Amino acid sequence: MWLFIAVASIFGYSSPDFDLNEGNDTIVMLKSVEIMSEKHELFSGSAKRQSIDTVILKSNHHSDFASVLGSYTPVSVKSYGPGILSTTSLRGGSASHTAFIWNGFNLQSPMHAQNELSLIPVSFADEIQVHYGGGSTIWGTGAVGGAIIMNNKPDFSPGQQFGYHSSATTNRDFHNSISTQWSNGTFATSFRLFHHHAKNQYRYINSRLPDNPEEKQEHAGFEGWGLLQETHYKPNNNHIFNLRAWFQQYERNIPSALFQDGSPAQQDDDFLRLTAQWQGFFNNIRIDVKTGYFEDYIHYNDNIFTDSESRSQMQTSEAGLRYYFPKQNTVSLTFNHQYVSADVDDYMAKPSEHRYTLLASWRWKNKHENFITSLNFRQKFARAYDVEPTPCMGITYRPSGKFAISANIGNNYRLPTLNDRYWSPGGNPDLKPESGWSQDINFELSDFSLYGKTNDPDRSFDLDHISIALFHRKMKNWISWVPGSGGLWTPENILEVRSYGAEANKMVSYIYGDLNINTTIFYSWTRSIYEKTGLDTDASIGKQLIYTPEHRAGINAGFSTGPYRLYYNHSITGKRYTAGDNSRWLDPYHVADIYIAYERKIITTMKASFFIKIHNIWNQDYEVMQARPMPLRYFRAGLSCNINYGQR
């Protein structure tokens, strides 16, 4: 079937970041935007969002989501090493409190509620956004701290594109990808394929041995490949049909921790994602109907005690109706059905369940369009547990065209995972969903000239964007595995956790002729503390959650002139505690990368670029997770070639 899809789409897709008919690229590092996907664009407009520009996606074509989010956003990424397990923490939540949304589908695993972002290639995304703050009303289960959003955009511009990208590192990491796209204005089809093979033999410091010797990682290699096929049909302006298929397969060695004497562990990760969607537009009415099938497979073998296979299936169907009133009101009603099942060697049963959701939304704006309010209400129904009603409300007030204030309040939830309920031994089928209220307020100033008025059209010095956000959240029934009778570990709804903090983001740009300089600075302060643990004398009460840094900061700078590009990013992560009573911790660390590229047209229809990237340029010795050392300095070099016939 996959061979047929590949052949059928031979005229497919090239990433739009190499547009041969445009001028020089403009460096746009990171800023908040007012664009959301599908039905969410109207009804969560007051939420804080950040979008990673296509220029950054282009320079990180070889990277995964974990690497990009850790470098360009305040998101805390918990990484065990390159190509190994990487999860995220948003606003003090756990790894299971971040939803991963692909073209409107919530892909959070029903088995463990986490998303392995080191397996998601940046080259498969047209758009990456971070939605900050509670979003369970809009996105569903797991969007407690926020959501990572990946979108693919159909392009009906007539023509054909082809792209090839290749890179290699001094750690023997090789990444290759191709992409094609074709459209005649009515049909559009695209195809992307990547292959990633790495010995992953990176250098690190072994801090557990005398004199901290430098060693080489010998059991972290991996190999994977994946393809993404899209077909779109637009017979007229009233109908759009979309079909997508995404298949991926990885085989990975799991390196040992520093306190272990070698590790023969291996893990296979496979998944299949199939979706179909129809959008209809009729005067003041918009109808959305979509369905998806998602299958995940994990095979873990430590070659000693454990050889376990896990497979889950998730089928989602959704229908939504949106009505635009003649004046300032818009309403939407959406019904969602989901069927989940799993077959896991370590479960006490083969669970399956149906889940139903009703979502109602309303949006109003005044006649001056400087005051907007939205109200959303979600109710989820499942036989296994009761889910609280999940409302949220947001307002945005823009007293001037450059300044805006927005505020949100809402209830959030996370369903117990199948691992929590059915793991043998220890699973607890009687768990309740986690739930809690969140509030935030955001102040934004944008498009402000630091030069003031000028008559020079070739020169500008602008404060493109500055934002300050304050947030608060309290969660109850937080699930934690604790020792039970006979010393058997079992999950219980025993924790209450309060999270609060602040985020700041500033972006400045300077343009003079073809010289373009952009700088983005971000900072986040996050307190996430245990308020209740089941034991009144627990020393962790009032202390910071483990592996949740209180401080995160970074600077991203870009420089371009003519065919030359230079990007520098530097991130700082504060102390992370490894014990619940905060008696042990990992030291703060900072890490920086630099990217240098040369781009030019070879012929009218062809554009090529060559780049060198230095990872961890200051050769820092650091650990993100305890006893899991990260690579010292290493180098990457690569090239890209894009051919464009007629499109745009």
CA–CA separation, 203 vs 205, rounded Å?
A: 7
CA–CA separation, 410 vs 389, rounded Å?
A: 10
CA–CA separation, 426 vs 424, rounded Å?
A: 5
Amino acid (one-letter) located at 246:
W
DSSP single-letter state for residue 562:
T
DSSP string for 497-559 = EEEEEEEEEEEEEEEETTEEEEEEEEEEEEEEEEEE-S-TT-TTBTSBPTT--SEEEEEEEEE
CA–CA separation, 216 vs 206, rounded Å?
A: 9
The alpha carbon torsion through 183, 185, 186, 187 (nearest 10 deg) reads 10
CA–CA separation, 280 vs 322, rounded Å?
A: 10
CA 334 to chain centre: 24
- At 252 the three-state DSSP class reads strand
CB atoms under 10 Å from CB of 154, counted, come to 19
**Helical (H) or strand (E) element with 70:** helix 65-72
Look at the block and give the residue holding tokens 């065919």.
563
**Would you state the pLDDT for residue 90?**
95
Q: Which two tokens stand for residue 16?
A: 């739009």
CATH of the domain spanning 2-628: 2.40.170.20
Every domain of the chain and the residues it spans? 2-628
Report the greatest alpha carbon distance in the chain: 79
**Would you state the pLDDT for residue 145?**
95
Strand partners, 118: none
634 in Cβ contact with 170 (< 8 Å): yes
CB atoms under 10 Å from CB of 236, counted, come to 8
CB atoms under 10 Å from CB of 216, counted, come to 10
Amino acid (one-letter) located at 16:
P
CA–CA separation, 320 vs 461, rounded Å?
A: 44
DSSP-derived pairing of the beta strands 489-512 and 459-483: antiparallel
CA–CA separation, 44 vs 410, rounded Å?
A: 11
DSSP string for 144-196 = TSEEEEEE------SEEEEEEEEEEETTSEEEEEEEEEEE-SSEEEEEEEEEE
**Would you state the pLDDT for residue 454?**
58
**Would you state the pLDDT for residue 452?**
59
Smallest CA-to-CA distance from 145 within 562, 542, 438, 555 is with 438
Strand partners, 497: 475, 530
pLDDT digits (tens, 9 = 90+) for 25-77: 333 333 333 333 355 666 787 899 999 988 899 999 999 999 999 999 999 99
**Would you state the pLDDT for residue 451?**
65
323 Cβ contact list (under 8 Å, min separation 6): 284, 285, 330, 331, 332
DSSP string for 438-504 = EEEEEEEEEEEESS-S-S-TTEEEEEEEEEEEEEEEEEEEEEEEEE-GGG-EEEEEEEEEEEEEEEE
**Would you state the pLDDT for residue 645?**
83
Amino acid (one-letter) located at 313:
Q
145 Cβ contact list (under 8 Å, min separation 6): 89, 90, 91, 92, 93, 97, 98, 133, 134, 473, 499
pLDDT digits (tens, 9 = 90+) for 537-565: 889 999 999 999 999 999 999 999 999 99
430 in Cβ contact with 422 (< 8 Å): no
Smallest CA-to-CA distance from 610 within 165, 57, 170 is with 165
439 in Cβ contact with 472 (< 8 Å): yes
The alpha carbon torsion through 643, 644, 645, 648 (nearest 10 deg) reads 180
pTM more than 0.85: yes
**Helical (H) or strand (E) element with 244:** strand 239-253
**Would you state the pLDDT for residue 31?**
35
Smallest CA-to-CA distance from 205 within 636, 637, 616 is with 616
- The low-confidence residues of the chain, meaning pLDDT below 50, are 1-37
DSSP string for 397-445 = E-SSSSEEEEEEEEEEEEPPPHHHHHBTTT--TTPPPEEEEEEEEEEEE
